[in-house]
Structure 1
Amino acid sequence: MKWSELKVHTTNEAIEPISNILHESGASGVVIEDPQDLHKLDDVTLFGTIYELDPSDYPDEGVYVKAYLPVNSFLGETVDEIKQAISNLDKYDIDIGKNNVTISEVNEEEWATAWKKYYKPVKISEKITIIPTWEEYTPVSSDEIIIELDPGMAFGTGTHPTTVLSIQALEQYVKEGDVIYDVGSGSGVLSIAAALLGAKRIKAFDLDEIAVKSTTINVKLNRVQDQVEAQHNNLLENVELGADLIVSNILAEIIVQFVDEAYEKVNAGGYFITSGIIQGKKDLVKEKLTQAGFKILEVNQMEDWISIVAQKPE
């Protein structure tokens, strides 16, 4: 089978919504080429990634979001719909940058193997390392927690700054026996992390059926299916009260839509961890959290992304 590689030259802010558009259009895999990744090996930090990257693959500014679509009679129509959907993001005050879309053809063998170079074991917090299913990896410490992911499920590698910030917050605030709601679960990586950190019961909600399937597969892969239940659901609609912690790694514009519901659903003394927030939307989310009654405990930043940890007073 022949595949078409669709490349969008855009901004960091637009990565998540554009990726979602591509997934919904039938993309069988997404690759993010961010020039900031080229400098991560130069940073001396506590956590590290094994990269095999070619600088010539990366733009001088902005990012490339690449998707792979089967070459068929509907390809032209699909590409036109993708272009229109991306252009419509302007209506939501999302900076889409140059929004230059190009198409090239690749054969299946090249696509099936070449993208794996972007995905290696990554230590993203004090305890947690994420590895792809095909990689051999030996833990370096006795308390290291390993999460296996299959990025072929099209929801990323779990190493985007918004995900890293979320997992680092979970590592700090999850307690043994907690009940947790993961709103916008995607690959399920946050739910899996919470389970491996000791949470008793996690409900993973996503409006996208593909995400629910992806979460279910990755949950089984990590043997935490007794703790994590993936459900098709719109945010926290019709969800019962009683979460000890709610975590949500989605766009700021979506987070502010259900802050009041999160305050209602979480137990007194419980936490609301939000991520996926660009720098320019930080104050909007903080203000909404405070208005709902939450106390802001932490505001953390990685690259251009923000996460906020809030608590409902006792």
Structure 2
Amino acid sequence: MKWNKYTIETTTAAEDYLSSALMDLGIEGVQIEDNVPLTKEDQAEMFIDFLPELPPDEGISYVSFYLEDNGQDDTELLKQVKTTIEEMRNVVDMGTGKITSDQTEDLDWINNWKKFFSSFYIEDILIKPTWEELKEEDRDKFLIEIDPGVSFGTGKHETTQLCIRQLLKYIRGNETYTPQVKTPKVLDVGCGSGILSIVALKLGASEVVGTDLDPDCMTSTHDNMEVNHLDQKLGTFYVGNLIDDTELQEKAGTEEFDIVVANILADVIIPMAPVIPARLKKGGYFITSGIIDFKENDVKEAIEKAGLEVVEINHQGEWVNITARKN
């Protein structure tokens, strides 16, 4: 499907006003591009695998909207947009208000981000996008291949890396920890692309169970398991919210798991903490991240209040991993 893209050059002061006005004209969604850095609060509410290095903010903003190229003339709507821009100049600095047009396809939105995702290592694990050729010198490496599709989870984000390093420690072991269970059963809450489930299985987990709110994640996870030559019988995945879905809690099981891993937002981990101990076997570990640093204490307190013992806290950039044990 083709779309007509219209971009308005304006100011950062006007972008919210303009976005609201466009919606009042019946335009259902807008895209805003500016050089305003994300605040910590912004980062706490979203995962961004590739945080761009922005040039200095000069107060310029580009507000774009898309109209389906279905043969209809957009002239009348564009006239209304131009009139709106001029009327808003009495309220806020609108900048040039210049409108430019372009055409795009759905495929552009799906694939453009791929240029930012290339192979990289986490410890000795090589994580490679499925569309990139495997180098000859990497053919004997511990390899994970991932195509996130529309799901979260390339492995690039600090929170994913924190969880992978903990899975390495608590499944494979290292100089400071010897695993008590050689083939643990793992619950992956918020499985996304399935990357943590796949890492767990390739490290030696006997079985994984995954949950996510997004049905598309089920497709991504199964596809990525196939790419990594993993038997689909090793993973069972459910759509649902573990916090309050008692049926899902029963499906996942009680005291079934040696490890529960959750790479999700702090504001989800906190209300979810009370249901985690029931999922874990005695001595099992809860590995979690997605925690922006200023929410570390809130999450730690919620985990301890649920009856788990926090055994280590790790940081990478502004993100935090908390690992706890059920005694």
TM-score, structure 1 as length reference = 0.69
1:14 maps to amino acid: D
Work out which of the residue numbers 188, 199, 205 in structure 2 matches 1:193: 199
* Structure 2: distance between partners of 1:205 and 1:243: 14
Distance 2:192 2:44 in 1: 11
Are 1:152 and 2:159 counterparts?
no
Q: Cα gap change, 1:217/1:131 in structure 2, threshold over 3 Å: closer, same or farther?
A: same
Q: Distance in 1 between matches of 2:44 and 2:221?
A: 17
* Distance across 1 between alignment mates of 2:234 and 2:275: 23
1:47 match: none
The 5-angstrom pairing of residues 239-254 of structure 1 reads 239-241=252-254, 242-254=256-268
Q: 1:128 touches 1:147 (CA, 8 Å); kept in 2?
A: yes
The 3 A distance-change label for structure 1 pair 182 and 294 is same
Number of matched pairs = 248
- 1:60 Cα deviation (Å)? 4.2
Write out per-residue CA displacement over residues 204-239 of structure 1, whole angstroms, 9 at most, x where no aligned residue: 101111122221221222122232222112126423
Structure-2 separation of matches of 1:12 and 1:157: 22
Q: Equivalent of 2:309, from 295, 310, 314?
A: 295
Is the 8 Å Cα contact of residues 184 and 235 (structure 1) preserved in structure 2? no
Contact 1:6 1:103 in 2 (8 A): no
Secondary structure of 2:290's partner?
strand
Following superposition, the deviation at residue 33 of structure 1 comes to: 3.8
Quickly say closer, same or farther: Cα 1:168–1:184, change in 2 above 3 A.
Answer: same
Report the Cα distance in structure 2 between the residues aligned to 1:279 and 1:255, rounded to whole angstroms: 14
Are 2:153 and 2:160, in contact at CA under 8 Å, matched by a contact in 1? no
Of the three residues 155, 159, 164, the one matched with 2:161 is 164
The offset of 1:143, in angstroms, is 7.2
- 1:289 deviates by 1.3
Over 3 Å counting, the alpha-carbon distance change for 1:12 and 1:227 in structure 2 is farther
Structural mapping, 1:101-250, within 5 Å: 105=102, 107-108=104-105, 114-124=112-122, 126-138=123-135, 144-174=141-171, 175-224=181-230, 225-235=232-242, 237=245, 238=249, 239-241=252-254, 242-250=256-264
Cα deviation for residue 103 of structure 1 reads 10
Structure of larger gyration radius: 2
Q: Which letter maps to 2:259?
A: L
Q: Match of 2:144, SS? A: strand
Q: What percentage of residue pairs aligned between the two structures are identical?
A: 36
SS, match of residue 253 in structure 1:
helix
Residue by residue over 1:107-131, the C-alpha shift from the partner in whole angstroms, topping out at 9 and shown as x without a partner, is: 347656643320100102x221211
Aligned equivalents of 1:308, 1:256: Cα separation in 2: 12
TM superposition shift of 1:168: 0.7
Query: With structure 2 as the length reference, what TM-score do the two structures score?
Result: 0.66
| Aligned CA distance change for structure 1 residues 16 and 195 (closer, same or farther; 3 Å) | farther
When structure 1 is superposed on structure 2, of 230-239 and 290-299 the one drifting more is: 230-239
Alignment pair present for 1:262 and 2:299 = no
Question: 1:53-106, CA deviations, whole angstroms, 9 ceiling, x for partnerless residues?
Answer: xxxxx3448xxxxxx9974289xxxxxxxxxxxxxxxxxxxxxxxxxxx99855
Q: Secondary structure at the match of 1:264?
A: coil
Question: Could you say what the CA RMSD is over the residues aligned between the two structures, in angstroms?
Answer: 3.2
Q: Is the 8 A contact 2:189 2:261 kept in 1?
A: yes
Residues 115 and 290 (structure 1), Cα distance of their counterparts in 2 relative to 1, 3 Å cut: closer
| Aligned amino acid, residue 226 of structure 1 | K
Confirm or deny: 8 A CA contact 2:188 2:196 kept in the other structure. yes
SS of the residue corresponding to residue 149 of structure 2 reads: helix
Q: Which amino acid aligns with 2:155?
A: G
User: How many Å separate the matches in 1 of 2:269 and 2:304?
Assistant: 13
Q: Which runs of 4+ in 1 moved over 4 A?
A: 15-19, 68-71, 102-106, 109-114, 139-143
2:277 touches 2:326 (CA, 8 Å); kept in 1?
yes
Q: Provide structure 1 residue ranges, at least 5 long, that are not aligned to the other structure.
A: 20-29, 36-57, 62-67, 75-101
Deviations 1:128-165 (A, max 9, x none): 12111111224767873211111333424221001010
CA distance in 1, matches of 2:186, 2:326: 14
